[in-house]
Structure 1
Amino acid sequence: MWPEAFAIAAAGFAAGMINVVVGSGTLITFPILVLLGYPPLVANVSNNLGLVAGGVAGTIGYRREIAAHRGFAFALLPVALAGGLAGATLLLVLPSSAFKAIVPVLILVGILLVAVGPWIQRRIAARTAPASEADAVAAPTAEAAGIPGGRGRRVGIMVSIFILGVYGGYFGAAQGILVVGALGILTTVSLGSLNAVKNLLVTGVNLMASIIFILFARDSIDWAVVGLITVGAGLGGLLGARVGRRLPPTLLRVIIVTVGVVALVNLMLHS
């Protein structure tokens, strides 16, 4: 019992830190829960609730960067929430057998996204002008007033965030990488600021999905798992916002991909 509890809390800690720094922490906690014998739907729902604490901690840690782009961030937040609501609803409406069947595909997609994450980030960095954290906080930006660009670009940004919100409400592995990638392509916001906005949007999606699960899917919630992940993810989110940016991203990605591959193989062998 205690080794299992420690493993879940440790996975929550790692996921909370990774979500703030890179994204895709679900590929740590969800596979661990499945490997420990939890049904995929219970693992997904309980994991979603538990990771909210880490997202909140990370968002608070990035509050200065978010404040510098508050108009941009808070204009997209309702769109992300709507997507999260739709995704969580789909998870509950579709039969659990459908989720179990699609989980290996979702994990594989998440692993691939983590693997190509550095390439996505390099492309984004090449398109955006470098800016120091002080400049991002002190200098007024166009994004502070709302979603930048013409009407077509604004629609494209909102549609992308809604779709990614649906994905996040349904499963969410590597959702953060997708959000950063989409906003990096469609805006000229610096990579550091995009990471901060990503934390706010992904946390909002997880929170919305959690509300739906608590209201309509209590039978799929393991509250002991939620509590362990909440404590771990909260501490991990605080650490990620403070010092996680100094950790080698390659190491984090190797860990994520390794755990994801082990879980994928386990699911395929037992399906």
Structure 2
Amino acid sequence: MNNTELALLLLAALGAGAVNALAGGGSILTFPALIAAGLPPLSANVTNTVALFPGYVGGVIGQARDLKVQGGRLLLLIPAALIGGLAGGLLILASSERQFEALVPWLLLGGCGLLAVQDRLRALLQRRSGVLGLGWAVIPVLLAAVYGGYFGAGLSVIFLAVLGLTIDDSLTRLNGLKQALALGANLSAAALFLASDKLVWSAAAVMAAGAMIGGAAGGRLASVISPKSLRAIVIVIGLGVALLFLIG
């Protein structure tokens, strides 16, 4: 890749890191940037997963205090997230370029839809009057992790919905558990992709650095930027890219 393309990816990753810190949905920015840099959709997806993985590590570190007393939940749900992420990664590597490209606009539309309902979902979870029980979370977490390993835009929203319906706890602690599950799903997929010839190392390295810097900057900008407005911008971009794929 040339310097111009790498600079484009760095900027996209900086933005994605900040977006993830403030509102979520950063992969909706970086995936199209990889396409614009000339990567085929399948390679762009694999590279995107590896590049943004450090951000999930940072998310867990940031909420480590909320995870200290959730050891039992982690022991039950993390294996499901790891297995699901691995299964999703294997599915994407087994897909043909044509098959995945046909799914891309629908995956982007789904990710945008999840971001659009994120605030409403949080409000509903805060008002919930009852839960199903922890055991009911295992299969939904596994299935969500499969999606996360395959594409992943909006995965955190799915995890939070599952946890909110099955566990009676504060939204803050559920958010910490969500971060750990997202890390588990992406860890399996990213580890698998490291051995794939579809991974573009130069792009992944530049984007990983950009995402970490953007994430740190995003945390400091939280008081001056509206997450709701930022999420709306990401959704518009995602919808535009999905439309380009549909008419292309």
Residue 19 of structure 2: aligned partner: 18
Equivalent pair of 1:85/1:212 in contact (CA under 8 Å): yes
More divergent stretch after superposition (36-45 vs 13-22): 13-22
Residue 259 of structure 1: aligned partner: 237
Shift of 1:11: 1.9
In the alignment, the residues of structure 1 paired with residue 99 and residue 168 of structure 2 have an alpha-carbon distance, to the nearest angstrom, of 39
In the alignment, the residues of structure 2 paired with residue 27 and residue 111 of structure 1 have an alpha-carbon distance, to the nearest angstrom, of 8
Equivalent pair of 1:88/1:209 in contact (CA under 8 Å): yes
Residue 40 of structure 2: aligned partner: 39
Paired amino acid for 1:178:
I
Identity across the alignment (%): 33
Counterpart pick for 2:169 among 171, 174, 189: 189
Residue 66 of structure 1: aligned partner: 67
The answer to whether structure 1 residue 122 and structure 2 residue 105 are counterparts is: no
In the alignment, the residues of structure 2 paired with residue 53 and residue 237 of structure 1 have an alpha-carbon distance, to the nearest angstrom, of 10
In the alignment, the residues of structure 2 paired with residue 2 and residue 156 of structure 1 have an alpha-carbon distance, to the nearest angstrom, of 49
Residue 158 of structure 2: aligned partner: 178
Question: Secondary structure of the residue that 1:160 maps to in structure 2?
Answer: helix
In the alignment, the residues of structure 1 paired with residue 11 and residue 72 of structure 2 have an alpha-carbon distance, to the nearest angstrom, of 36
Question: Secondary structure of the residue that 1:127 maps to in structure 2?
Answer: coil
Residue 154 of structure 1: aligned partner: 134
In the alignment, the residues of structure 1 paired with residue 8 and residue 126 of structure 2 have an alpha-carbon distance, to the nearest angstrom, of 36
Paired amino acid for 2:148:
G
In the alignment, the residues of structure 1 paired with residue 129 and residue 204 of structure 2 have an alpha-carbon distance, to the nearest angstrom, of 38
Shift of 1:75: 2.9
Equivalent pair of 2:23/2:228 in contact (CA under 8 Å): no
The answer to whether structure 1 residue 268 and structure 2 residue 246 are counterparts is: yes
Equivalent pair of 1:55/1:237 in contact (CA under 8 Å): no
Equivalent pair of 1:50/1:227 in contact (CA under 8 Å): yes
The answer to whether structure 1 residue 202 and structure 2 residue 176 are counterparts is: no
**Cα-to-partner distance string for 1:79-112 (whole Å, 9 max, x where unaligned):** 1000001111111123222111111111011111
Equivalent pair of 1:120/1:181 in contact (CA under 8 Å): yes
**Cα-to-partner distance string for 1:121-170 (whole Å, 9 max, x where unaligned):** 110122289xxxxxxxxxxxxxxxxxxx8xx7333201111001000000
Shift in CA distance, 164/27, structure 1 to aligned 2, threshold 3 Å:
same
Equivalent pair of 1:128/1:191 in contact (CA under 8 Å): no
The answer to whether structure 1 residue 236 and structure 2 residue 237 are counterparts is: no
Equivalent pair of 1:12/1:29 in contact (CA under 8 Å): yes
Q: How many residues end up aligned between the 2 structures?
A: 246
Alignment of 1:74-153 (within 5 A): 74-127=75-128, 153=133
TM-score where L is the length of structure 2: 0.90
Segments of structure 2 that go 5 or more residues without pairing to the other structure are none
Shift in CA distance, 172/121, structure 1 to aligned 2, threshold 3 Å:
same
The answer to whether structure 1 residue 220 and structure 2 residue 198 are counterparts is: yes
In the alignment, the residues of structure 2 paired with residue 244 and residue 127 of structure 1 have an alpha-carbon distance, to the nearest angstrom, of 31
Segments of structure 1 that go 5 or more residues without pairing to the other structure are 130-148
Paired amino acid for 2:247:
L
In the alignment, the residues of structure 2 paired with residue 125 and residue 18 of structure 1 have an alpha-carbon distance, to the nearest angstrom, of 23
Shift of 1:6: 2.8
Shift of 1:3: 4.3
**Cα-to-partner distance string for 1:38-96 (whole Å, 9 max, x where unaligned):** 21001100000001111112211111112233332343111100000111111112322
TM-score where L is the length of structure 1: 0.83
